[in-house]
Structure 1
């Protein structure tokens, strides 16, 4: 197995640490000012001990657990074991429920597994950073896929799930038949595409500070959930499910630890392009990811498609599930159908061309016959007959 992932340069590492210190100081000053101005604002966290009913409902699929090398993973499975496996990898801050609109339509044709990443949802949540090193995460996903009794799968990843998916397809290319990338550029494009003034850039530097980001995420009754999932209304049961799943400090430590490691990793420049089919999807109103970065990501893929979901932001599979699901199913089945259609169309086209040429040759031969009869002694060098045999032997149907 080739190692396709490497650490960023020492200079880039130093820049991240400097900026993380500056943003950390800025947040501390801001929080201190808010504490003086409005002390209750930072401490109005609602206690959530009872899970919402949608997290206990098994209508989407069966809730299962598997323990791999001492780590328990939770996942929701639907469909039948005889169908190809589709592995759903959620984003940040999210968990298996983020695929609630895709599981019902996929389970009709595939074996669907929506995984809770380590640190998210009902999966184990170790606190130390060493548990979230990218090589360890990728190895666990590989072991998880094999624990399901399959040798390959289709991966659909959103945001963080897509970012991890990029690294995974480089590290274990034989395990991925097709890769759907939602709202996430190639890792080597992603980090460089962020503007220094963007909230995402500032947050990615801020989370390198220990402890403080987890505490900050809980402020104002987990307001960060409302900001990320702004497509959900205030009374939406799913919004409450997200707040329940991210209502404790330890609910944030694991998810943030992913970015504490991934920020320092890149794909080696000498790595070969991805040979599996890659479908890059982005919402037309995504303010976190630019379309340009998605287009540039296609340079790392041998076979790719780029699709834009209208009237959708950073969560197109949730914001416009109807259009997204249509595209999803189209490219799930496209390869087989397109190849057959192309083959049939190609044969029909060659037959038409050959038929047209044949008619032209017949007309030409008739003209030549008439000319030769009328000008036997005048024109002696005209060809006697045009032949179609050579043309037919060189056209492969």
Structure 2
């Protein structure tokens, strides 16, 4: 009980602290130029041409678990299925380089998860609980008519994928996580490592209503320019416009942030060892500003069949920043396990 109360108090103190910092930043931004609205929306009616480029595949819709999802399909549907789950704050486009790389050997399906991109946005935090997100994936695979598939995931997609792997291991031929971890590993690390708590500051902030959306949308979603564009890396301003196109839309920010509101708590999940023979690779970025390498130690206790890697000179959005490195990493894993 004492440990629970300590986590409860710490969680709320950090939430209040980061909320105060966010509001102070918003106030300073406004006061610098009070005659200009930093939250002015620059909506564009036509999507950037990259989002409709046929080289990435065909855009389709499917109703799974009572929610309509949008996805991009590429490759021969008679070949092994490879499903991609994006992270926050992204959508299918984050997998553009992997689609181009693997479409010749796999039936590639890159999903907009519920609340993202052109998928349905259910109202209410309760619609983004982990068990629903897992069942979205399970129903998707059923409706695609496959018994087994390869799953590649990033960030939030990885959290969902671990829960999916724990519940439905028999349906997976393999699992690759990029810049992600299991919920158990993340919770244990955030409560035992001050470094991980600092890296996860935004998770505490996102518990609050409205303030996260206010901070995120400031100055035409400048956060994308700050966290995704680096000198010498593949992501460019045209790519950023693809993200801003979707996230500028009314109410587009709240559903993704609801993933945090629905699933962040003060619990302490015990480590349960999963011994099923599901080949699994976890690749963390060397320069990740949100995840610490200590997460891998817990994951090695959770999963008997696991390989880990640190991708050098990359940051959190590594599959977009350094697609060649990431594609080679995935290729080697697939080849090693004959997937």
**TM-score using structure 1 length:** 0.76
Q: What does residue range 79-90 of structure 1 map to in structure 2 within 5 Å?
A: 79-90=75-86
Q: Which residue of structure 1 lines up, in the alignment, with residue 244 of structure 2?
A: 243
* Secondary structure, counterpart of 1:64 in structure 2: strand
Match of residue 335 from structure 1: 337
Asked if 1:28 corresponds to 2:29, the answer is no
With 142-151 and 16-25 compared, the bigger mean Cα shift is at: 16-25
Are 2:111 and 1:118 aligned? no
CA contact (8 A) 1:309 1:320 kept: no
1:72 matched residue in structure 2: 68
Question: Which residue does 1:258 correspond to in 2?
Answer: 259
1:21-54: CA deviations, max 9, x gaps? 3332342344234433432262344232221011
Q: 1:69 to 1:311 in 2, by over 3 A?
A: closer
Q: CA deviation at 1:121?
A: 0.8
Counterpart of 2:282 in structure 1 is: 280
Query: How far apart are the structure 2 equivalents of 1:88 and 1:164?
Result: 12
The structure-2 alpha-carbon separation of the partners of 1:247 and 1:233, relative to structure 1 and needing over 3 Å to count, comes to farther
Matched, 1:167 2:163: yes
Q: Retained in 2: the 8 A contact 1:75–1:114? A: yes
Q: Greater relative contact order: 1 or 2 (C-alpha under 8 angstroms, separation 6 or more)?
A: 2
On the 8 A contact 2:274/2:303 being kept in 1, the answer is no
Following the alignment from structure 1 to structure 2, what is the Cα–Cα distance between the partners of residues 69 and 181? 24
Residues in 1 aligned to 2:129 and 2:318: alpha-carbon distance in whole angstroms: 28
Q: Using a 3 Å threshold, how does the CA distance of structure 1 residues 19 and 246 change in structure 2: closer, same or farther?
A: same
Q: CA deviation at 1:261?
A: 2.1
The residue that corresponds to 1:222 in the other structure is 221
1:305 to partner: Cα distance: 1.7
1:189 and 1:117, CA in 2 relative to 1: closer, same or farther beyond 3 A? same
Distance 1:327 1:272 in 2: 24
How far did 1:192 drift?
Answer: 3.9
Query: 2-side partners of 1:10 and 1:154: how far apart?
Result: 41
Question: 2:153·2:177 contact (CA, 8 Å) conserved in 1?
Answer: yes
Q: Any conservation in 2 of the 1:45–1:219 contact (CA below 8 Å)?
A: no
Could you tell me how far 1:200 is from its partner in structure 2?
Answer: 3.8
What is the rounded CA distance, in whole Å, between the counterparts of 1:328 and 1:272 in structure 2? 22
Partner of 1:207: 206
Note the C-alpha offset of 1:104.
1.7
C-alpha distance in 1, partners of 2:158/2:23?
32
1:293-328 per-position Cα deviation (integer Å, ceiling 9, x unaligned):
224422212122222323211122122211221121
Q: Report how far residue 14 of structure 1 moved.
A: 5.1
Cα distance change on mapping 1:109 and 1:151 into 2, 3 Å: same
Counterpart position of 1:364: none
TM-score, normalised via structure 2 length = 0.88
Identify which of 286, 289, 292 aligns with 1:290.
292
Segments of structure 1 that go 5 or more residues without pairing to the other structure are 1-7, 338-397
Identify the residue that residue 154 of structure 2 maps to in structure 1: 158
The corresponding residue for 1:269 is 271
Kindly name which structure, 1 or 2, has the bigger radius of gyration based on alpha carbons.
1
Q: Matched residue of 2:252: which SS?
A: helix
Looking at structure 1, the residues matched to 152 and 4 of structure 2 have their Cα atoms a distance apart, in angstroms, of: 30
RMSD value over aligned CA atoms?
Answer: 2.5
CA 1:233–1:328 in structure 2 vs 1: closer, same or farther (change >3 Å)?
closer
- The 8 Å contact of residues 283 and 309 in structure 1, kept in 2 or not, is answered as yes
Rounded to whole Å, the distance in 1 between the matches of 2:94 and 2:145 is 25
How many aligned residue pairs are there? 330
Cα distance in 2 between the residues matched to 1:327 and 1:69: 33
Partner of 1:4: none
Residue by residue over 1:5-25, the C-alpha shift from the partner in whole angstroms, topping out at 9 and shown as x without a partner, is xxx956534542343233323
- Matches of residues 129-208 of structure 1 in structure 2 within 5 Å? 129-194=125-190, 196=194, 200-208=199-207
Structure 1 residues 191 and 230: alpha-carbon distance in aligned structure 2, compared to 1, 3 A threshold: farther
Give the 3-state SS of the residue equivalent to 1:75 in structure 2.
strand
Unaligned runs of 5+ in 2: none
Measure how far apart 1:128 and its partner are. Answer: 0.8
| Inter-CA distance 9–86: structure 2 relative to 1 (3 Å threshold) | farther
